[in-house]
Amino acid sequence: MEAEMKFHPPAKKFSSKSDLAAYFGRDKLECLICGRRYIQLVAHIGPAHDMTADDYKDRFGIPWTYGLAGKKFKANSSRRIKSTRESGRLSERPSKAHIARLVVAAKNRRKSVGAVSSDNRRKILATHKQSRKWGMPEFNEFLARIASGRTPTEVGSDSDLPTVHWFRRFIAQNKEHQRKFEAIWNRVPYGVQARAYKLSPQFARDLVALRRKRLLWSQIASKLGVTETTVRHTWFKLRRDDKLAKTDLAPKPDKFSRKDYELFLRKFAKGQGLRDIARDPRMPSVAQFYRYLEKSPSLRKEHARISKARIRNRK
């Protein structure tokens, strides 16, 4: 059967992994230039055809990681390496220098050959029950579903559309489509943006504007349609990146009296949490409460006593 399978002269480059498997599934490989067979092609193509292994692979569409040797030679090489490793003459763990070379090679990785790309594309299309490559209609539909209030990851899980990975690759290569996506994304509700962990610049501007009105975190979160955690995280990120004005960072003017802080402390003594008390717009914030404790030793001492009592009660 092996003698009947002819690969020379090749009509074109290898177009599928099955053809590659048939070609490399022999003990001797057929030279695609002259038709002769060899255990190791590298020993032949250099002197006979003045070609390197990479030249040969590039010409016939063979993956770069494939060795140009027959099946039996590869099996014997594998057995020798395993035997050497088991005897202790070869380390089980690669050296740091070898790992460093692999990292550099991965960064300069060459483009996949046609046989591998077409096989991967066929598998992806079969998964999504598609008969052709994704085109503009599918990517336009992808954008339309995002505009309806869904994240790219959620839309990418639909069986009739590309995955989010392919969508991102497409917009990275298509600037016009990328602009459309950004325009749509800026219009979707902030709750959708938060689910995708991709908040638009307008969210930060709205957050700062509401914070300047002296609203509580919970009130801002309610108005923007996101969680309080999202609001706080974004605010502190803006502060860390030095994108807030000095007036935004200045402490709020203390409009509360000692009686307000004493009431705050009484509520705390009754078992309420500090954050729960501060949600009442008639009460100081937690930060204001602690700043006041720094100026009032008597209230600070009372707060410490109540805190210890609460810890004992929990035990």
Residue 14: give its domain's CATH number. 1.10.10.1550
Report how many domains make up the chain.
4
- Claim to verify: residue 154 and residue 215 sit in the same structural domain: no
Q: Are 29 and 70 in contact (CB under 8 A)?
A: yes
Q: What are phi and psi of 37, to 5 degrees?
A: -115, 140
- Claim to verify: residue 184 and residue 205 sit in the same structural domain: no
* Token output for 263: 């009431």
Amino acid at 240: R
Percent of the chain scored above 70 by pLDDT? Answer: 91
Is residue 3 very low, low, confident or very high in pLDDT (cuts 50, 70, 90)?
A: very low
96 in a domain, yes or no? no
- Claim to verify: residue 184 and residue 197 sit in the same structural domain: no
Secondary structure letter of residue 26 according to DSSP: S
- Residue 291 to residue 254: CA distance in whole angstroms: 10
- Claim to verify: residue 55 and residue 17 sit in the same structural domain: yes
- Claim to verify: residue 238 and residue 285 sit in the same structural domain: no
Is pLDDT of 5 > 90? no
- Residue 28 to residue 40: CA distance in whole angstroms: 7
State the residue for tokens 């193509």.
45
Residue ending a domain, choose from 160, 188, 216: 188
- Claim to verify: residue 205 and residue 223 sit in the same structural domain: yes
- Residue 184 to residue 178: CA distance in whole angstroms: 10
- Claim to verify: residue 285 and residue 236 sit in the same structural domain: no
State the pLDDT at residue 122.
72
- Claim to verify: residue 184 and residue 201 sit in the same structural domain: no
- Claim to verify: residue 129 and residue 160 sit in the same structural domain: yes
- Claim to verify: residue 122 and residue 181 sit in the same structural domain: yes
94 in a domain, yes or no? no
State the pLDDT at residue 35.
87
99 in a domain, yes or no? no
- Claim to verify: residue 184 and residue 210 sit in the same structural domain: no
Q: How far is CA 196 from CA 52, 190, 193, 221, in A?
A: 48, 10, 5, 17
Is residue 61 very low, low, confident or very high in pLDDT (cuts 50, 70, 90)?
A: confident
Q: Distance from CA of residue 309 to its chain's centroid?
A: 46
Q: Please count the residues of the chain.
A: 315
Spatial CA neighbour of 61 closest among 8, 133, 117: 117
- Mean pLDDT of all residues in 75-102: 79
- Claim to verify: residue 123 and residue 184 sit in the same structural domain: yes
Please write the tens of the pLDDT for every residue from 250-273.
665 667 889 999 999 999 999 999
Q: What's the CATH number where 239 sits?
A: 1.10.10
State the pLDDT at residue 154.
95
Q: Distance from CA of residue 37 to its chain's centroid?
A: 46
> Whole-prediction pTM value?
0.49
* Token output for 262: 């004493």
Residue ending a domain, choose from 138, 164, 188: 188
State the pLDDT at residue 263.
93
101 in a domain, yes or no? no
- Residue 264 to residue 272: CA distance in whole angstroms: 10
Q: Could you list the residue range(s) of the whole structural domain that residue 237 is in?
A: 193-249
Q: Helix or strand or coil: residue 13?
A: coil
Please write the tens of the pLDDT for every residue from 155-184.
999 988 888 988 998 999 999 999 999 999
- Residue 9 to residue 6: CA distance in whole angstroms: 8
How many of the other CB atoms lie within 10 Å of CB of 44? 20
Secondary structure letter of residue 24 according to DSSP: H
